[in-house]
Amino acid sequence: MDTYQKTARTTPRRYSDRTSYDAGLVHSIIDEGYVCHVGFVVDGAPRVLPTLHARIDDVLYLHGSTGSTAMLGARQEGLPVCVTVTLIDGLVLARSQFHHSANYRSVVAHGTARLVTDPQERAAAFAALVDKVMPGRAADSRPANAKELAQTALLSLRLEEVSAKVRAAGVSDDEADMGLPHWAGVVPLRLTMGRPEPDPASAVALPEYLRQDASPWHAAPMLRGSHVVLEPLDRAHAEGLFAALDHPDVWTHLTAPRPASAAEMAQIVAAAVDDPGRTAFVQKDPATGTIVGSTSYYAIDPARRSIAIGHTMLGRPWWRTAVNTESKLLLMGHAFDTLDAIRVEWHTDIRNERSQQAIVRLGAQREGVLRAHRQRPDGSWRDTVSFAMIADEWPGARDRLAAALAAGGR
């Protein structure tokens, strides 16, 4: 169905020019909204309840408890309902109070809701409701058991008598008010997802469908080599990192103090994951999956096509192996070849001569010293040595490093 039929109940008395019966628009509003309101009559009095919903084709499914009034009322001949979904897109601030308004998209559907009893239809509707909460979640969670199914009821409402209404305009002040000294305009409103906050008892890495969309410069792709695999760092990696990095030499020149427990390591990992200016990776052995360390992109500047590599913490057993060289090769390759970076930077403590030598071996050029640049865990202020490689230098460095790794070097 491309267009719903206009009826007396779906014909507005005001602002009819904002009304639409286009099925695509109706479906998009229903699908974007997370909550609907169901209105019905109980003992001669109106009742309106919020609930979760999901749509499959032209059928709207409403979630509820088997003991709720709506579900009980639908057991016989069905329950006459009016269902609404509303999305607020902006606040309209006019010069006059009378013309203050809101930009919105709404759907109103009338009809008779019926109790869903067919097992296959119930299963499909339950999956749609779970995926409505988060796409991909139905396949990544335990289905309801017999006891839970007995406690949950579903109503179905066929979308037949339905309309949409939209306001997407600016201020509509009267001509006489246009000169008033009051600010006027629209304040947009958007519903956005925040950063997922894992259950403290969960040891499962964040699923891919929960990773927020990011620009290519801020994304954390999986990078696979022969000696190391780089994956997006996750809170679930804290215990493995604590075991891999549990040696005092690892923390000598790092800006964070050595953690005394996996819980303290978890705080370091959380800070890295939550840092909006940093894209952190965990380093793993490709053969065993053992965590060996972590590294990051930071100082990410797409406008200048510049990015830095650092915050590297590699377990003591993997020093002087190919792991660090291949990690940097993978990160440099992604920066130069995929992101089309012009410049890749490194920064290290002036006392950390081993790190400086490793950066020079990559082919980066020392550019200078930033004095009193960052505070160390002991309270002293470190001078930071700055290195960089530019795009013209990358092909030669890439070939040389790849050849060294192939020959068994590091």
List, for residues 18-38, the tens digit of each pLDDT value: 999 999 999 999 999 999 999
CATH code at position 396: 3.40.630.30
Q: Are residues 159 and 232 in the same domain?
A: no
The mean pLDDT value of the chain amounts to: 93
**What pLDDT is recorded for position 70?**
67
Above 70 in pLDDT, residue 89?
yes
Tell me: the pLDDT tens digits for 291-322? 999 999 999 999 999 999 999 999 999 999 99
Residues 261 and 118 in one domain: no
Distance of CA 105 to the CA centre of its chain: 24
The number of folded domains in the chain is: 2
Note whether 258 and 322 are same-domain residues: yes
Work out the average pLDDT over 78-91. Answer: 95
DSSP string, 138-194: GGGSPPP-HHHHHHEEEEEEE--EEEEEEE-------GGGTTSSS--EEEE------
User: Within its chain, how far is the Cα of 111 from the centroid?
Assistant: 37
Between 195 and 366, residue with greater pLDDT: 366
**Same domain for 334 and 239:** yes
Alpha carbon 265 to chain centroid distance?
Answer: 24
Write the pLDDT tens digit of every residue in 237-249: 999 999 999 999 9
Q: With respect to residue 39, please indicate whether it lies within any of the assigned structural domains.
A: yes
The separation between CA 387 and the C-alpha centre of its own chain, rounded to angstroms, equals 33
- pLDDT for 78: 86
At residue 395, the 3 state secondary structure works out as helix
Q: In the predicted model, is pLDDT for residue 73 greater than 90?
A: no
CATH number of the domain encompassing residue 121: 2.30.110.10
| Residue 293: inside a domain | yes
Q: Let me know whether 218 and 87 are in one domain.
A: no
Residues 220 and 362 in one domain: yes
Q: Which of 136, 153, 188 is the last residue of a domain?
A: 188
Per-residue pLDDT tens digits for 206-257: 888 888 777 899 999 999 999 999 999 999 999 999 999 999 999 999 989 9
Q: In terms of domains, do 184 and 212 share one?
A: no
Name the domain boundary from 126, 159, 188.
188
| Mean pLDDT in residue range 166-184 | 95
Residues 253 and 396 in one domain: yes
DSSP 251-284: GTT-SSPPPSSHHHHHHHHHHHHH-TTEEEEEEE
Percent helix, percent strand, percent coil in the chain, to nearest 5: 30, 35, 35
- Around 311, how many Cα atoms within 13 Å sit in the side-chain half-sphere? 24
Q: Does the residue 56 lie in any domain?
A: yes
Asked if the structure places residue 122 within a domain, the reply is yes
What confidence category does residue 72 fall into, taking pLDDT thresholds of 50, 70 and 90? Answer: low
Has residue 287 been placed in a domain?
yes
* pLDDT at res. 380: 94
> Residues 113-152: pLDDT tens digits?
999 999 999 999 999 999 999 999 999 999 999 999 888 8
Joined together, the tokens standing for residue 296 give 């990051």
Spatial neighbors of 344 by CB under 8 A, at least 6 apart, are 306, 307, 308, 309, 332, 335, 336, 364, 388, 389, 390, 394
Residue at 174: amino acid letter: D
Task: Please give the C-alpha separations between residue 86 and each of 40, 132, 172, 192, in angstroms, as whole numbers.
Answer: 18, 16, 22, 16
Q: Do both 226 and 291 map to the same domain?
A: yes
Shared-domain flag, residues 161 and 213 = no
The pLDDT value recorded for residue 1 is 65
CA neighbor of 73 nearest in space, from 122, 124, 112, 20? 112
Where among 139, 159, 188 does a domain terminate?
188
Angle at 34 (CA atoms; ends 28, 40), nearest 5 degrees: 95
236 and 183, same structural domain? Answer: no
Instruction: Print the domain residue range for 118.
Output: 16-188
% the chain with pLDDT above 90: 80
One-letter amino acid identity for 326? E
Question: Which of 303 and 12 is assigned the larger pLDDT?
Answer: 303
Residue 197 belongs to some domain of the structure: no
In a domain, 198, yes or no: no
Same domain, 291 and 167: no
263 domain residue, yes or no: yes
Using an 8 Å Cβ cutoff, are 38 and 70 in contact?
yes
The whole-angstrom separation of Cα 294 and Cα 278 is: 12
Query: H or E segment at 397?
Result: helix 394-406
pTM of the predicted model as reported, rounded to 2 decimal places: 0.75
Structure tokens that stand for 222 in this block: 């999986």
CA distance 110 to 160: 8
